[in-house]
Amino acid sequence: MTDTSDRGGPASPIPDDADVMSRDMRWFTYATGLGVRVGAELVPEPRPDTEVAPALPEAALGDRTPLPRGTTELLERAPYPYGRVGSPNESADALGHALVAGFGLQRREPENPFNDHRPYPSVRAKFPVQVLVRDGRHRRVLDLYRHALTGVGRQDGAAGPLEVALAGRYTRLPDSYRWFRSSLIGLELGVNLRQLCLGMELFGLSGKLRLPDRDAAGLLTDFGLTPAAEWSLPLTVALEDGGPPGAAAPAEQAADPVLDGILTVNRAQDFTGPAAPLGPSVPAGLPRDGALSWAEVLWRRSAGRMPRGMYGMTGRRRPVPERTLREAVSWLSVPPPGPHLAAAWEELRVTAVLQGVDGHADGVWHLRDGRPTLHRARPGAAAELETHYGYPVTPYAGGDVRHASAVWFLSAHPRRLVDRLGPGGFTAAQYAAGWAAQGISLAAAATGLYARPARAFQEVPTRQLLGLDPDEMIVCAAITGTPRFEGLLCDLRL
């Protein structure tokens, strides 16, 4: 990741008062010159926030392959961080266990308005990214509530190599998010990619990642993901060599001008070159204390809790040991797989507002060469950040940024991304930032903290507080701290 600071730069290239729903589209237009029109006149009458696309694509009834049971028991025998289950006898069972480990249901919190919980976060618990599996003849979607892979799309293809695909459905998120759905889906694809790699790593599976090229829309048709204009181009991981590339598909245009702008960003990807082997998703150098299993770490993952059906998150301020910081920094040291995502990763800058971390002054820190470096001592910086957070504390919602131990920010210069990776570099940075945010989430779970990924900070005052450049975009943030509330947890693991 980029670790320099105090660079010069031009004045802010987008209006300081750009609203959060259109802000990233303006950054994309600035970086690429590919105009995406934004404005209230383009926004159709929104549906109620409860009216969204289904959780799963249309499934073929009766074509269902059960997932193996006992994943949690296997993970309980694998100490965090270096314990591995290894590969069971049957490769299909190994992939099934890996998918359950990475994406499986964990728990229900009866008082939480957003259920059910998985080992990774998602906007409003909508989980718009679907995990799909094909072996040539069959196309299936991960169906967690049936604990199965359920048939979708074509079922009559020729036999072929085993492959997993990740694709996000924009219309799974409410219309009120407008163009912002583009970045949210990109970030969640990065989160899901890390979980797929983690599950495969725990169960001894290897694979090769292919990012979307201009023909990748053909995979949407192949998997029966229609209308294609509602879906992102898939990220694919081949578990066996010889997988066919995606077949070409005609360019599509959404009737909704907001979705059409989203497609402009997503379809700008054209990553070429061979598929890249997956690297590790877990950092080296973490302490081996043996106190936790992988099952416990994945169970603990939380974005914060509130009591009695309230929204948001809250925490309590307390001193935390240096290990909480070292753990997060270690997880932030592992790049995503492949040269394209690694290049986007290198363009990300990591900044943290720390508070009450043993041996570190309260204030703004930059991550340089894998080490936190004090940029500005500033007691009360976390409380100041709370004033720039889009979800204020109310009688109905919590947002206790002022009590956070660390608030992590991932930022990048959009034009540098595009100069280095082409127009698709903008989306690649979302994948890389999602990968990083999920690393922060797992580090927090291992050290008793919650971690809440967020895109709700007002960009201009936050950028000024962090010491970022005027032409630097905040891609993602993650708020970590000590949870204040506990409650009943209903175990859903299998």
pLDDT digits (tens, 9 = 90+) for 369-390: 999 999 999 999 999 999 999 9
Residues 134-152: pLDDT tens digits?
Answer: 987 889 999 999 999 999 8
Q: What is the pLDDT of residue 360?
A: 98
φ and ψ of 143, to 5 deg: -115, 90
Residue 6 has pLDDT above 50, yes or no: no
Residue % of the chain over a pLDDT of 70: 93
Q: What is the pLDDT of residue 429?
A: 98
Distance of CA 484 to the CA centre of its chain: 25
φ and ψ of 393, to 5 deg: -70, 130
Residue 254 has pLDDT above 50, yes or no: yes
What is the pLDDT averaged over residues 443-468? 96
Residue 63 has pLDDT above 90, yes or no: no
Residue 159 has pLDDT above 80, yes or no: no
What is the pLDDT averaged over residues 362-373? 96
Residue 5 has pLDDT above 60, yes or no: no
Residue 157 has pLDDT above 70, yes or no: no
Peptide bond into 461 cis (omega under 30): no
- Contacting residues for 181 by C-beta, under 8 A, at least 6 apart: 170, 173, 262
Name the token pair of 244: 């066919």
What is the pLDDT averaged over residues 444-466? 96
Query: Which range among 61-65, 86-90, 105-109, 244-248 has the greatest average pLDDT?
Result: 105-109
Q: Please, are residues 133 and 103 in contact by the beta-carbon 8 Å criterion?
A: no
Q: What is the pLDDT of residue 480?
A: 98
For 88-97, 113-122, 366-375, which range has the lowest pLDDT when averaged over its residues? 88-97
Residue 489 has pLDDT above 90, yes or no: yes
Domains observed in the chain:
296-491 (3.40.109.10)
Higher pLDDT, 248 or 217: 217
- pTM of the entire predicted model: 0.95
Q: What is the pLDDT of residue 288?
A: 86
Residues 31-51: pLDDT tens digits?
Answer: 999 988 898 888 888 899 999
Q: What is the pLDDT of residue 59?
A: 65
- Contacting residues for 50 by C-beta, under 8 A, at least 6 apart: none
Q: What is the pLDDT of residue 9?
A: 46
Q: How many CB atoms neighbour CB 165 within 10 A?
A: 26
Residue 11 has pLDDT above 80, yes or no: no
Q: Please, are residues 94 and 88 in contact by the beta-carbon 8 Å criterion?
A: yes
φ and ψ of 65, to 5 deg: -115, 115
The whole-chain average pLDDT of the chain stands at 92
Fill in the amino acid letter for 453: P
Angle in degrees, 0-180, between the axes of helices 257-266 and 425-446, rounded to the nearest 10: 90
Higher pLDDT, 111 or 158: 111
Q: What is the pLDDT of residue 24?
A: 96
Q: What is the pLDDT of residue 312?
A: 93
Query: Which range among 19-28, 251-260, 348-357 has the greatest average pLDDT?
Result: 348-357
- State the SS3 of the chain: CECCCCCCCCCCCCCCCCCHHHHHHHHHHHHHCCCCCCCHHHCCCCCCCCCCCCCCCCCCCCCEEECCCCHHHHHHCCECCCCCCCCCCCHHHHHHHHHHHHHCCCEECCCCCCCCECCCCCHHHCCCEEEEEECCCCEEEEECCCCEEEECCCCCCCCCCCEEEEEEEHHHCCHHHHHHHHHHHHHHHHHHHHHHHHHHHHCCCCCEEECCCCCCHHHHHHCCCCCHHHECCCEEEECCCCCCCCCCCCCCCCCCHHHHHHHHHHCCCCCCCCCEECCCCCCCCCCCCCCCEHHHHHHHCCCCECCCCCEEEEEECCCECHHHHHHHHHHCCCCCCCHHHHHHHHHCEEEEEECCECCCCCEEEEEECCEEEEEEECCCHHHHHHHCECCCCECCEEECHHHCCEEEEEEECHHHHHHHHCCCHHHHHHHHHHHHHHHHHHHHHHCCCEEEEECCECHHHHHHHHCCCCCCEEEEEEEEEEECCCCCCEECCC
Beta bridge partners of 107: 117, 491
Confidence of residue 210 (pLDDT cuts 50, 70, 90): very high
Q: What is the pLDDT of residue 211?
A: 98
Residue % of the chain over a pLDDT of 90: 80
